[in-house]
Amino acid sequence: MVFRINGEKAEVTLENERTAEDLVCAVAGQLEEGMVIASVEIDGRYYSQDTPELAEIGVENINDINLEIFTKEELAVSLLQEVKGTVARICTDIKENAFSHTGEINSIIDWIIETIRAVNNASFFELAESKLLIATMNQVRQYINSGEREEAKIDSLVNILESLGVYLSSMQDKIVSNYAISKEDLTEAINTGIELLPEISENFQTGNDQEALAKIHLIINLLEMCSVYFKQNMTKLPEQSREDAEVIYNDMNGLLSEIVEAFENADFVLIGDLLEYEFGEKLENYKSKVLI
CB 178 within 8 A of CB 124: yes
Please give the C-alpha separations between residue 188 and each of 80, 121, 191, 217, 291, in angstroms, as whole numbers.
27, 29, 5, 16, 11
Which domains can be identified in the chain, with CATH numbers? 2-70 (3.10.20), 181-292 (1.20.120)
Separation CA 257–CA 271 (nearest Å): 11
DSSP character string of 224-276: HHHHHHHHHHGGGS-HHHHHHHHHHHHHHHHHHHHHHHHHHTT-HHHHHHHII
CB 134 within 8 A of CB 117: yes
Separation CA 9–CA 2 (nearest Å): 7
Sign of torsion over alpha carbons 270, 161, 137, 146: positive
Instruction: DSSP letter for 278, please.
Output: I
- Strands (E) located in the chain: 2-5, 8-9, 35-42, 45-47, 64-71
Q: What is the pLDDT of residue 127?
A: 72
The separation between the first and the last C-alpha atoms of the chain, rounded to the nearest angstrom, is 62
Per-residue pLDDT of the chain (292 residues; tens, 9 = 90+): 899 999 999 888 888 899 999 999 999 888 887 788 988 999 999 988 888 999 999 999 999 999 999 888 888 888 999 999 999 999 999 999 999 999 999 999 999 999 998 888 777 566 778 888 898 899 999 999 998 899 999 998 998 899 888 889 888 887 776 666 788 888 888 888 888 888 887 887 777 766 777 777 778 778 878 877 887 777 777 777 777 778 887 887 788 788 878 877 778 778 778 877 888 888 888 888 788 7
Tens-digit pLDDT profile for residues 39-74: 899 999 998 888 899 999 999 999 999 999 988 888
Separation CA 125–CA 260 (nearest Å): 16
CA neighbours within 13 Å on the CB side: how many for 104?
Answer: 12
Separation CA 46–CA 28 (nearest Å): 17
Separation CA 118–CA 48 (nearest Å): 14
